[in-house]
Chains A and B, each alone.
Chain A
Amino acid sequence: NAGVTQTPKFQVLKTGQSMTLQCAQDMNHEYMSWYRQDPGMGLRLIHYSVGAGITDQGEVPNGYNVSRSTTEDFPLRLLSAAPSQTSVYFCASSPGQGAAGGANVLTFGAGSRLTVL
């Protein structure tokens, strides 16, 4: 059982380039989300999804796009990379409403470290 898989683990971009961070989960979780982690700022929510075809913005959505065409996958797209997007990105999933263990118990991926020059 792989859990939440993120790729790539490391990426260096130039300002203005675009890229996609991939996220896949194999736990049949209903909810998925993307967070960014910056020093002293904790984890901040970028976008989230409550099911296939449904996405919404979190606290810091500007400059990012998401889609959820399947339950398993939740890619994060950087449209035109900026140095302010240098960060570590974490994808997470949680079971959803009605789950016995708790709707919002998050399982995180290992993270993707992005540097924008």
Chain B
Amino acid sequence: GENVEQHPSTLSVQEGDSAVIKCTYSDSASNYFPWYKQELGKGPQLIIDIRSNVGEKKDQRIAVTLNKTAKHFSLHITETQPEDSAVYFCAPHSEGGTSYGKLTFGQGTILTVHP
């Protein structure tokens, strides 16, 4: 199965700074790389994803970059705001394989943005 590691486990930044969270995986067959955001008291929600035919994807202040050779991908948040404070999870997997909705998640990164 997929072995997923996420770093750092906690990240504290000042409002306006950038934040980067890295996810390392083991299965070379993985071809879909999502990031989920979990706000306090809620379930995780998909915020951005990338597939292995592209190296970077942006959506306003958030971006995901992929290095398939090194088997890692990263979440980048620029101009952080207090509402970015949450727990972030990665969940790399093979979309065309036998994942069947049963994903292996990273341990999570607690991001705190101080006003």
Contact = CB atoms under 8 A, between A and B. Distances in A.
A109 B41 CA distance: 11
Contact of A104 (B9, B89, B99): B99
Contact of B105 (A32, A42, A48, A104): A42
A58 B103 CA distance: 9
Majority SS of interface residues in chain A?
strand
B93 A40 contact: no
A45 interface: yes
Given A42-B89, A90-B43, A102-B95, A48 B101 contact: yes
A59 to B, nearest CB: 8
A106 B102 contact: no
Contacts of B46: 105-106
Interface string A42-83: 111100101000001011000000000000000000000000
B101 A42 contact: no
23 contacts: A31-B101, A33-B101, A40-B9, A41-B107, A42-B6, A42-B106, A42-B107, A43-B89, A43-B108, A45-B104, A48-B101, A56-B100, A93-B101, A94-B101, A102-B32, A103-B96, A103-B101, A104-B32, A104-B93, A106-B36, A108-B44, A109-B43, A111-B43
